[in-house]
Structure 1
Amino acid sequence: MSEICPTTGFSKKSKERWPYLWGKLTSGQSNEFPNQDLIKSIDRGIKEVLKVKDSSTGEENRQNLIKHLRKIICSKIKDVTLEAFGSSQSGLSLIGGDIDLCLKVPDTNPKQILRRLKGLLDARGMEQITLISKARIPIIKFHDPKSGFDVDISINNSLALHNTELLSTYAQLDPAVKDAILAVKYWAVQRNIANAYQGTISSYSWSLLSLQHLQVMESIKLPNLQSSQNRELITIDNHEYDITINKEVQINKIDIDVGEIFAKFIFFYGLEFDWSKKVVSVRNGIPMERNEKGWSLQKPSASAAHHSDDKKLRMGSYHLPIEDPLDTEIDLGRVLKPAGELTILNEFLRAASMLSKGKSFDEICETVEPQRFESKSPDDLFEDLRNLKPHEVKILHENILDDLSVVTKRIETLESERSSAIRMAKAMRGIIEETGDIRKKHKETILSLKSRGKEIELTKNKRDLINKNIVLPLHRIEEELVKIYSRLTDSLDLMRVQTLEREKRDFSFFFELQKMHHQAKSSSELHHKYNQLRKEQRKDIENLRKFENEHDEAAKNILDQEPLLKQEDLENRHDRSWDKRANKITMILRKRKKELYKFRREKGRIEAWMRIAQKNSAKRRGNNRNKKHRPTSQIRETVASGGSISLGDLDALLKSGGISNLNQKNDSTQKRPKRKKGKMKNLNNLSPHRGERNKYSRKE
């Protein structure tokens, strides 16, 4: 049995996991606020981290991914819009920060939308797809391996768009506000305490904690942007929300170093803030009293819940209460798990201890579980292509094109087969509406099935209506008619004379039987007609089945070779078996379309590399053409002196006559001036003379 601390209830394992919190609870350890030299060091560390922002390429990849998701989702799901919100829109995003998107859909079933989204994203190569459909706001989370971004898509989270606007307005008040929030978020992310889905609190909550600290910090006193005389109210799902944001507020420039703001943030929440009595409320401008808010601290505590033998025991509510500034009934700390709360408190105390000991910002933000970030940065897109020769890349490209062609043909054949199965199922129900895509040779059969199906239904309804009112079958009616008729027409027995009342009843029953006989006869005729129509219908369905099973040779081979499609015994008279086949082909198509997407993506990657390689090759050729070569005379002098020359110099030397002509280098240059001088002497006798063109005269 593990040793349990009598004061805190911590086990030995818990002491090792949360040593700073255990030390604070048992001995009340105190930490001194760092001096100005240490503050300057922290400030430099923060500036170095914040200096490394997303490159233009990273932001471009982010926007391209949002456009891509908007295109594939809005084109497949009608009447929806996809809007970005969160840190990426408020300007408070760290490098590789998650992308938050809101899918606005009309009144519908969110779970159904999430399932459709999962299929779409899976077909487009997204990874780690997780549905959170039981949350107050349904969410689907996934990872895009191409860009390295994690994405959250929430359904009808309209209020989050206004939350983003509020944070963005605060961040624009002063650069120090934005940097202070980013520094806190960076620390929280690196220490792995900014993940609401793993039992800590969200990045949004850390932003609010930072803003509340700036609101109460004596040297800053950040104003409350929600305290305006003009209120703006909206109604969402029959609930009214105050989304007032005062955008006219301006503040004096904040001259305090971000390092000092960060250090005071850590000391404020780690050592000064009384979580048992206060509620973080940015909307209020200062922390609220729990009694005023009505959020009393509930048991069990995080430590008691964590160390309980009952693994299903949940800790009480409002342990680290953070009020949502717009949806004020929501405690953003409700997502905390016992271990998450203890880890956050321990991290505050750890950071305070390290600050007092003069540790650097990098040391304070030492990454917990660095493998979390391995998938954030996508690998080199062309890593496997860089060492390949051009002809090898070309062969790879041709192979991808062949694979793409095979998968495309297979998908086309499967889609045709699925349409065929759907038509068969509908034909058996007589509900086919469209015939535009059906082959001519059985379009007539389809149309006859449709019209006959309506006639069958009408005949059946008429027959059933008659049978509902007539309880006796036709042969029993005829038997009763014979009996009554005989009794009414037989010779009179004077010993057994019927009463007048009895004779009236017999005549009345006789007339009723006559009417029933007429209707029963009509019912029998309708039943016979119904059976005949059904027989004709089954015959046409059999013909249709034969037509639908006729494939060209290529399509037949593809279906036979499809490993995921097992041929099933389809009963001609059961539409469910055709439905089952159509559903199975649909599942196969999803897998094949996923393969198609990967092949298309690979094709685009290889073609992009081929364009880059071609461009670089053309650039190198252009550089070689534009390169200035040394004069031949200099090259000759270098060779004559025993110096080394380049291949380009050697090429120029060979073109000018070769190495054997080194001793004759001045012959040609000496002869040309002599001939030139001779000509100049002859021209000395020329004088200017106006006359005919191309004529001249000598001087006398």
Structure 2
Amino acid sequence: SEVAETPKKSSSSSTDHNTMSQSNQSRRLQIRTHTGWMECRHDIGTFASSLLSIYESLKPSEEHMSKQSRLIDSLTKSVTKEWPNAQLHLYGSCANSFGTSHSDVDVCLEIEIGTGSEVELLLRLAEILRGDNFDSVEAITSARVPIVRMLDAGSDFSCDICINNLLAVANTKLLKDYAQIDGRLLQLASIVKHWAKLRGVNETYRGTLSSYAYVLMCISFLQLREPKILPCLQAMEPTYTMVVDDTECAYFDEVHQLRDFGAENKETIAELLWAFFHYWAFQHDYRKDVISIRMGKIISKKEKNWTTRIGNDRHLICIEDPFETGHDLGRIVDRQTIRIIREEFERAAAMLQHDDDPCVTLFEPYNYEN
């Protein structure tokens, strides 16, 4: 059985910890979590306004959003000339509310493929877009999800277009609906994603975690708070259903009815951010546990049959996709990168606990040369 190792402290991590201010170590507050009591500095709330300023700075501007809309309008005109019944769907971070002004645009072309192949259709789409003067159009047909990649000169957006990736469209809607229930989810996930990018643990090509995985981790964390901040939408009577290749995507999407769901929980973004990092640094059982927003609770690796490595799927940090439930978002993490990720969680928890100005040190970019 391949399980996550307990991370060893690197010398740089130890140095970070040794140079932290010790002045605040005795000032603590107890915060109740689903796993029991843990201690947090009593003045953690004083950092909330700085964290909220960072969050506000990450939100896409209105100009960014209007450029995105114009791009989709242009693409729709190009596509429907050739395929009148086709539909374009935005998906991913540009559409699920968790994007920034740096987010690229991901588009799904929903279309009846008919007698041709998906590759032929992508090649034809690339031809059409070149003819309509889009820039740097390239059909990448050998990728795991084949795409047409292009650049929109008017907005400078990079845009990837895939065919019939409707599971991604469904989980985009799910995340967008969760984001409308309690504003603390957007705050927490945006800050965690920003931290992960700066610290070099948001790069799937390096064996770390995707932005999507971090958002699921934040949703799960808020489902597990006491009192709960988020409900489990898939455990409720479904009001939205879409079937994609025999996979049923169903959940309660009347989220306007749930706006006060987490009102009993008064935790600030500073308390939640510290507790998130503390959970992933010290409380999560990497050997046994899978986080599941579908169930709204922790489930076991044994139940998922994710206890051993199969092919390249290592299951060292297990994050269940809410609809494609056989898909572990952490499967690409290996023994080296799980150690790096866990050290970064420990560093973040310690910075928030001990540092005089954690809103600076927490987001210091990781220097790969050191």
Whether the 8 Å contact between 1:96 and 1:148 is mirrored in structure 2 is: no
Per-residue deviation, residues 77-100 of structure 1 (Å, max 9, x unmatched): 564321112333332222222222
Aligned twin of 1:356:
353
Aligned twin of 2:197:
189
Determine whether 1:153 maps to 2:161.
yes
Aligned twin of 1:251:
261
Aligned twin of 2:35:
none
CA distance in 2, matches of 1:198, 1:129: 24
Whether the 8 Å contact between 1:141 and 1:151 is mirrored in structure 2 is: yes
Determine whether 1:126 maps to 2:135.
yes
- Cα distance 1:143–1:284, how it changes in 2: closer, same or farther (>3 A)? same
Aligned alpha-carbon RMSD (Å): 3.4
Question: Aligned partner of 2:52: which letter?
Answer: K
CA distance in 2, matches of 1:295, 1:75: 47
Using the TM superposition, give the Cα deviation of residue 160 of structure 1 relative to its aligned residue in structure 2, in angstroms. 2.0
Whether the 8 Å contact between 1:21 and 1:349 is mirrored in structure 2 is: no
CA distance in 2, matches of 1:222, 1:90: 17
- Cα distance 1:120–1:178, how it changes in 2: closer, same or farther (>3 A)? same
Per-residue deviation, residues 440-483 of structure 1 (Å, max 9, x unmatched): xxxxxxxxxxxxxxxxxxxxxxxxxxxxxxxxxxxxxxxxxxxx
Using the TM superposition, give the Cα deviation of residue 46 of structure 1 relative to its aligned residue in structure 2, in angstroms. 1.6
Secondary structure (helix, strand or coil) at the match of 2:234 reads coil
Per-residue deviation, residues 199-250 of structure 1 (Å, max 9, x unmatched): 322211111100111111224352211112458654323x131412252445
CA distance in 1, matches of 2:243, 2:134: 38
Whether the 8 Å contact between 1:277 and 1:290 is mirrored in structure 2 is: yes
Aligned twin of 2:21:
none
Per-residue deviation, residues 359-405 of structure 1 (Å, max 9, x unmatched): 422331223589xxxxxxxxxxxxxxxxxxxxxxxxxxxxxxxxxxx
Q: Which of these residues, 341, 344, 348, is aligned with residue 344 of structure 1?
A: 341
Using the TM superposition, give the Cα deviation of residue 328 of structure 1 relative to its aligned residue in structure 2, in angstroms. 1.1
Whether the 8 Å contact between 2:208 and 2:341 is mirrored in structure 1 is: yes
Secondary structure (helix, strand or coil) at the match of 1:66 reads helix
Pairs within 5 Å for 1:385-534: none
Using the TM superposition, give the Cα deviation of residue 322 of structure 1 relative to its aligned residue in structure 2, in angstroms. 0.9
Q: Which of these residues, 255, 258, 270, is aligned with residue 281 of structure 2?
A: 270
Question: Aligned partner of 1:329: which letter?
Answer: G
CA distance in 2, matches of 1:195, 1:226: 29
Whether the 8 Å contact between 1:45 and 1:362 is mirrored in structure 2 is: no
Identity of aligned residues (%): 27
TM-score, with structure 2 as normaliser: 0.78
Aligned twin of 2:363:
365
Aligned twin of 2:51:
46
Pairs within 5 Å for 1:133-212: 133-135=142-144, 137-144=145-152, 146-212=154-220
Per-residue deviation, residues 102-131 of structure 1 (Å, max 9, x unmatched): 111213422223333444556645349572
Question: Aligned partner of 1:326: which letter?
Answer: F
Secondary structure (helix, strand or coil) at the match of 1:332 reads coil
Q: Which of these residues, 327, 330, 344, is aligned with residue 327 of structure 2?
A: 330
- Cα distance 1:22–1:104, how it changes in 2: closer, same or farther (>3 A)? farther
CA distance in 1, matches of 2:253, 2:277: 29
Per-residue deviation, residues 331-384 of structure 1 (Å, max 9, x unmatched): 1223445654443223212212322331422331223589xxxxxxxxxxxxxx
Question: Aligned partner of 1:102: which letter?
Answer: C
Per-residue deviation, residues 278-337 of structure 1 (Å, max 9, x unmatched): 0010011111011122211438xxxxxxxxxxxxxx755212111111121211223445
Q: Which structure has greater helix proportion?
A: 1
Whether the 8 Å contact between 1:281 and 1:287 is mirrored in structure 2 is: yes
- Cα distance 1:255–1:336, how it changes in 2: closer, same or farther (>3 A)? same
Structure 2: any 5+ residue segments left out of the alignment? 18-23, 26-38
Per-residue deviation, residues 464-506 of structure 1 (Å, max 9, x unmatched): xxxxxxxxxxxxxxxxxxxxxxxxxxxxxxxxxxxxxxxxxxx
CA distance in 1, matches of 2:94, 2:74: 16
Whether the 8 Å contact between 2:233 and 2:252 is mirrored in structure 1 is: yes
Whether the 8 Å contact between 2:314 and 2:333 is mirrored in structure 1 is: no
Aligned twin of 1:287:
298
Aligned twin of 1:227:
235
Whether the 8 Å contact between 2:202 and 2:209 is mirrored in structure 1 is: yes
- Cα distance 1:129–1:368, how it changes in 2: closer, same or farther (>3 A)? farther
Question: Aligned partner of 1:266: which letter?
Answer: F
- Cα distance 1:148–1:341, how it changes in 2: closer, same or farther (>3 A)? farther
CA distance in 2, matches of 1:345, 1:103: 38
Whether the 8 Å contact between 1:81 and 1:105 is mirrored in structure 2 is: yes
Secondary structure (helix, strand or coil) at the match of 1:82 reads strand
CA distance in 2, matches of 1:177, 1:9: 28
Secondary structure (helix, strand or coil) at the match of 1:83 reads strand
Aligned residues: 336
Q: Which structure has greater strand proportion?
A: 2
CA distance in 2, matches of 1:342, 1:142: 36
TM-score, with structure 1 as normaliser: 0.43
Determine whether 1:241 maps to 2:248.
yes
- Cα distance 1:21–1:246, how it changes in 2: closer, same or farther (>3 A)? farther
CA distance in 2, matches of 1:9, 1:46: 28
CA distance in 1, matches of 2:136, 2:335: 29
Aligned twin of 1:569:
none
Q: Which of these residues, 66, 69, 76, is aligned with residue 63 of structure 1?
A: 69
CA distance in 1, matches of 2:125, 2:338: 33
- Cα distance 1:9–1:285, how it changes in 2: closer, same or farther (>3 A)? closer
Question: Aligned partner of 1:270: which letter?
Answer: A
Aligned twin of 1:320:
317
CA distance in 1, matches of 2:312, 2:268: 39
CA distance in 1, matches of 2:124, 2:15: 48
